[in-house]
């Protein structure tokens, strides 16, 4: 049910930014370390977005690779699974450079309909 809470967070953010405009597409950046399953996220996004301005919006998911950097020798590498030791010098003093992203990168909204009053 992890993807359900991630979907709720995305929809909350988008609804706030859309300010009442209908949303047609949402682009999200998800770090590998978040371990979000894309098909599952798409499913919950559709569910959570019902009856909001996001209903029917396309969800574009960009998965950001997880990268670590060693504080000792500045070596940086990508990981599939958390592995917190530098392969170059074996130091455990490493920092996560990327992979923890969970952000709405952009949204597309429909142009507000013009109300012609005379």
Tell me the closest approach of the beta carbon of residue 67 to Zn ion, in angstroms: 14
| Site residues (CB under 5 A) for Zn ion, limited to 67-86 | 70, 72-73, 75, 86
**Identified binder of Zn ion from the candidate list 25, 37, 47, 89, rule CB under 5 A:** 89
Q: Which of 4-12, 31-39, 88-96, 110-118 is the region at the interface with Zn ion (rule: CB under 5 A)?
A: 88-96
- Please say whether the beta carbons of 65 and 98 come within 8 A: yes
Q: Which residue has the tokens 């992979």?
A: 99
- The residue among 40, 51, 49 whose CA lies nearest residue 11 is 49
Residue 105 tokens, joined: 């990168």
Tell me the closest approach of the beta carbon of residue 64 to Zn ion, in angstroms: 22
């Amino acid at each position: 049910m992890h993807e359900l809470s991630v979907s709720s967070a995305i929809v909350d953010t988008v609804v706030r930014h859309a300010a009442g405009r209908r949303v047609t597409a949402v682009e999200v950046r998800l770090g590998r370390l978040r371990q979000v399953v894309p098909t599952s996220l798409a499913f919950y996004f559709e569910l959570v977005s019902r009856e909001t301005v996001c209903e029917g919006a396309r969800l574009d998911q960009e998965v950001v690779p997880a990268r670590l950097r060693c504080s000792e020798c500045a070596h940086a590498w990508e990981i599939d699974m958390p592995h917190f030791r530098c392969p170059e010098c074996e130091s455990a003093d490493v920092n996560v450079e990327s992979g923890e992203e969970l952000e709405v990168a952009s949204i597309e909204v429909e142009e507000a309909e013009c109300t012609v009053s005379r």
